[in-house]
Structure formats: C-alpha cells, structure tokens
C-alpha cells in the first residue's frame, strides 16, 4: 500500500455536526481544503449557511448547510436523508456537537437538563452513527470520528452529566469499531481545554488554574485539533480503529 500524502480527502463527503463554530468549523474548513465536500450541521441554519458560503468561496468544494438538533432522532434522520439526497453518500462522519451547561449543584440539576445533555452528547451520535455507519458498512466503507472530552476520564462535580455522556461516547466508539469492521473505522478525539465559545465563560481564576494544570502551559487553539481529525478522516489512519486520542497538552487533572 502506498504511503498516504497530505491527508488527502479528494472526492470524499464529510458530515460534521456542531460544524458552524469552534472545533467543528475548523474541521469543516480543513476537510474542504483537502478536497472534501462538506455537510455542516448545527441548530442554527444561518450560521451553517454563512460558513458553507465561505468554505465554497475559499475551496470551491460543495458545502451543504443543514439545521439539526442532534438530540432529536427525527432531526438526525432528516439530516442523513438530506446529506445522501444532495451529495449521494457520506464517507466521513464527525460527531462533534456537544453541550455542557452550568448548574447550581448536583442536587439542583433538573431532569430536563440531564436528559438534554445526554441527548446531545450521546443519543445523537448513536443515532447518526447507526444510520450512516450501516450505510458505510454496506457500501465502500468510511470513517466515523467522535469528539469526546477529557472530562470522560477526569470528571469533576461541575460537569458530571456531560462527563458521563462523554464516557458513554468513548464506550460507543469501541463498540461501533467492532460493529462496523472491517470496512468502517471508528475513532474518537478526546480534547482537553480549548479556546472555544465555552471557554469565553471562564473567569480569570479558572483560566489561570487551567494553564497551571497543563504541562504545555496554555489551553489549546481550535486549529490544534485539525491534524488529528485529518489523520482519522483520511487513509493515513487506515489501520487505526477503536482508538481514543487524547489532545490536552498533557493535562494532569481537571482544574474546574
């Protein structure tokens, strides 16, 4: 087998949830720059469309914007149907959409919020992976990338339902890798603390604690997830499945 060159995605179709901002937007742009047509999904259609227009101008690739709340199975099914109707197939699925809202205390955490966190972070990835992974396995194969969190293995009281959902996503990654083998590779990226919209809500004390906890001395930039995403999406990772790749600057503990 020839060595892969430049994480080439020419002719591929990549679907990225939570794709209109943060880590997802960086992956969308990187995939398109390397030849993939992209499906950008998030709850706000206007944000998806704005990025789709930008990506098309910059790369010349097709970019489809779709409104989708991944916590709702009907939305997930509609997203799959539209992606296949418009672009014919999906070669790469990135389950990136997530949420980790604050709550006053564990005892005050509501059932509705708990269910919403589980739905967005775990139920949606399960449904999309089941639908698209089955099609990949029956066809030419593909790659599924789940975006987990360091909270899955270093949970704290302030994001416990989220951490529980991400731990489930890690388990889902391993199970799907076996379910859809040998034609579909399923892996996860497990980011630490990154400078995204979520980090804007951190106070100075939290930010300083975060930086002290990271051996590299800083939180990550969204662009620093791109290399891992390209590796897992492309044939460069042709013998990698069931892997959970930690990208956290060497984080020793969660400072929250």
Q: What ranges do the domains of the chain cover?
A: 13-191+225-247
The closest of 69, 72, 34 to 48, measured between CA atoms, is 69
Among 28-37, 201-210, 215-224, name the one with the lowest average pLDDT: 201-210
Checking if the pLDDT of 254 tops 70, the result is no
Is the preceding peptide bond at 182 cis, omega within 30 degrees of 0?
A: yes
Distance of CA 193 to CAs 15, 154, 212, 218, 246, Å?
Answer: 24, 12, 12, 9, 11
Residue 8: CB partners within 8 Å, gap ≥ 6? 34, 35, 234, 235
Residue 40 near residue 64, CB atoms below 8 Å:
yes
pLDDT tens for residues 35-52? 999 999 999 999 999 999
pLDDT bracket for residue 89 (50, 70, 90): very high
Q: Which residues does residue 147 pair with via DSSP β-bridges, in sequence order?
A: 189
Checking if the pLDDT of 132 tops 70, the result is yes
- Coil vs helix vs strand at 219: coil
Count of all residues that appear for the chain in the document:
256
Checking if the pLDDT of 133 tops 90, the result is yes
pLDDT at 126: 98
pLDDT at 34: 97
256: how many CB neighbours lie within 10 A of its CB?
16
CA 95 to CA 255: how far, in whole Å?
26
Residue 97 near residue 124, CB atoms below 8 Å:
yes
pLDDT bracket for residue 2 (50, 70, 90): very low
Q: Examine the residue annotation and report whether 162 is marked as an active-site residue of this protein.
A: yes
CA 12 to CA 83: how far, in whole Å?
13
Which one of the listed residues 84, 103, 114, 162 is annotated catalytic? 162
pLDDT at 255: 44
The CATH number fitting domain 13-191+225-247, selected from 1.10.10.10, 3.40.50.2000, 3.40.190.10, 3.40.50.720:
3.40.50.720
DSSP tag of 5 = -
DSSP tag of 72 = S
């Amino acid at each position: 087998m020839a060595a892969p060159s430049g994480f080439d995605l020419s002719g591929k179709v990549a679907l990225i949830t939570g794709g209109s901002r943060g880590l997802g937007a960086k992956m969308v742009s990187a995939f398109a720059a390397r030849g993939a047509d992209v499906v950008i999904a998030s709850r706000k259609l206007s944000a998806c469309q704005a990025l789709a227009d930008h990506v098309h101008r910059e790369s010349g690739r097709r970019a489809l914007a779709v409104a989708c709340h991944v916590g709702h199975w009907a939305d997930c099914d509609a997203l799959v149907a539209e992606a296949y109707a418009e672009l014919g197939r999906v070669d790469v699925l990135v389950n990136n959409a997530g949420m980790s809202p604050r709550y006053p205390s564990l005892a005050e955490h509501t059932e509705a919020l708990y269910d919403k966190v589980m739905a967005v972070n775990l139920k949606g990835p399960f449904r999309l992976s089941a639908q698209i992974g089955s099609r990949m396995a029956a066809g030419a194969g593909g790659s599924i990338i789940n975006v987990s969190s360091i909270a899955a293995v270093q949970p704290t009281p302030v994001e416990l339902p989220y951490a529980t959902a991400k731990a489930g996503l890690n388990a889902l990654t391993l199970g799907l890798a076996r379910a859809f083998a040998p034609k579909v590779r399923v892996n996860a990226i497990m980011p630490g603390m990154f400078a995204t919209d979520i980090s804007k809500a951190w106070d100075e004390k939290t930010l300083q604690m975060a930086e002290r906890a990271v051996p590299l001395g800083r939180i990550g930039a969204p662009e620093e997830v791109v290399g891992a995403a390209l590796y897992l999406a492309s044939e460069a990772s042709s013998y990698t499945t069931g892997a959970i790749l930690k990208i956290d600057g060497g984080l020793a503990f969660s400072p929250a």
